[in-house]
Structure 1
Amino acid sequence: MSDIVPTPTPSRLGVVGAGYVGLTTGACLAHLGHEVVCADVDADRVEQLRRGQIPIVEEGLSEIVVAELASGRLSFELGAEAAATDTDVVFLCVPTPQGADGGADLRYIEAAATQIAPVLKPGALVVNKSTVPVGSTKVVEDVLQRNDVAVVSNPEFLREGTAVHDFLHPDRVVIGSDDRAAGERLADVYAPLQAPILITDPASAETIKYAANGFLAMKISFVNAISAMCEAVGASVDDVVEGIGSDARIGRSFLRPGPGWGGSCFPKDSKALVKIAADYGYDFTMMKGVIDVNEEQKRRMVAKVREAVGVGPGLRLTGTKVGVLGLTFKAGTDDLRDSPSVTMVQSLVAAGATVRAFDPTVEVAPTGPKAQLLAGVELCADPLSAATGAAVLVIATEWPEFAKLDLDALAGVLVPGSAVVDTRNLLDPAAVRAAGLRYDGVGRR
Structure 2
Amino acid sequence: MKITVIGTGYVGLVTGTCLADSGQDVTCLDIDEGKIERLNAGEIPIYEPGLTELVTRNHAAKRLTFTTDYAASIPSARCVFIAVGTPQGDDGSANLSGLWAVVETIAPLLAENAIVVIKSTVPVGTNRKTAARLAELTGRNVDVASNPEFLKEGAAIDDFTKPDRIVVGVDRPEVAEVLKNIHKPFLRNEHPFLAMGWESAEMTKYVANCMLATKISFINEMANLCEHVGADVNEVRRGIGHDARIGFKFLFPGVGYGGSCFPKDVRALIRVADDNDMTCRMLAAVDEVNDVQKHVLGEKLYRYFDGDLSGKTIAVWGLAFKPRTDDIREAPALVLIDRLLSEGASVRVHDPVAMKNVKAVLGDKVAFCEHHYDAAEGADAVAICTEWNEYRMPDWEFLRHKMKNCAIFDGRNLFDPAAMRDLGIWYTGIGLAGDDMATPTT
On whether the aligned pair clears a TM of 0.5, the verdict is yes
Deviation track 1:292-350 (CA, whole Å, cap 9, x = no partner) reads: 11011112221111123222xxxx52112111101000000001100011111111112
Aligned residue runs from structure 1 range 145-164, under 5 A: 145-146=137-138, 147-164=140-157
Aligned to 1:234: 230
**Residues 383 and 434 (structure 1 numbering): CA distance in 2 closer, same or farther, change over 3 Å?**
farther
Number of residue-to-residue matches in the alignment: 427
What is the identity, as a one-letter code, of the residue corresponding to 1:187?
A: K
SS at match of 1:239: helix
What is the identity, as a one-letter code, of the residue corresponding to 1:163?
A: A
Deviation track 1:208-252 (CA, whole Å, cap 9, x = no partner) reads: 000000000000000101111111111111111111111111111
**Residues 151 and 327 (structure 1 numbering): CA distance in 2 closer, same or farther, change over 3 Å?**
same
What is the identity, as a one-letter code, of the residue corresponding to 1:390?
A: A
Instruction: Calculate the TM-score normalised by the size of structure 2.
Output: 0.94
What is the identity, as a one-letter code, of the residue corresponding to 1:276?
A: V
Alignment match of 2:290 (pick from 283, 288, 294): 294
Aligned to 2:439: none
Q: Which runs of 5+ in 2 are unaligned?
A: 434-442
CA contact (8 A) 2:350 2:368 kept: yes
What is the identity, as a one-letter code, of the residue corresponding to 2:161?
A: L
Deviation track 1:131-161 (CA, whole Å, cap 9, x = no partner) reads: 0001111232233233242011110000100
Partner Cα separation in structure 2 for residue 81 and residue 99 of structure 1: 31
Shift of 1:436: 3.0
Shift of 1:434: 3.7
Alignment match of 1:407 (pick from 379, 396, 408): 396
Aligned to 2:373: 384
Aligned residue runs from structure 1 range 73-222, under 5 A: 73-144=63-134, 145-146=137-138, 147-194=140-187, 195-222=191-218
Aligned residue runs from structure 1 range 353-368, under 5 A: 353-363=345-355, 366=356
What is the identity, as a one-letter code, of the residue corresponding to 2:430?
A: V
CA contact (8 A) 2:131 2:141 kept: no
Aligned identity (percent) is 44
CA contact (8 A) 1:41 1:80 kept: no
Aligned to 1:321: 313
Aligned to 2:20: 30
SS at match of 2:23: coil
SS at match of 1:90: strand
Decide which moves more: 70-79 or 282-291: 70-79
Aligned to 1:352: 344
Instruction: Calculate the TM-score normalised by the size of structure 1.
Output: 0.93
Partner Cα separation in structure 1 for residue 235 and residue 399 of structure 2: 28
Partner Cα separation in structure 2 for residue 113 and residue 239 of structure 1: 52
SS at match of 2:294: helix
CA contact (8 A) 2:316 2:347 kept: yes
Decide which moves more: 423-432 or 188-197: 423-432
What is the identity, as a one-letter code, of the residue corresponding to 1:255?
A: L
Shift of 1:351: 1.8
Partner Cα separation in structure 2 for residue 403 and residue 411 of structure 1: 16
SS at match of 2:278: coil
What is the identity, as a one-letter code, of the residue corresponding to 1:297?
A: Q
* CA root-mean-square deviation: 1.5
SS at match of 1:335: coil
Shift of 1:375: 5.7
Partner Cα separation in structure 2 for residue 372 and residue 435 of structure 1: 37
CA contact (8 A) 1:411 1:436 kept: no
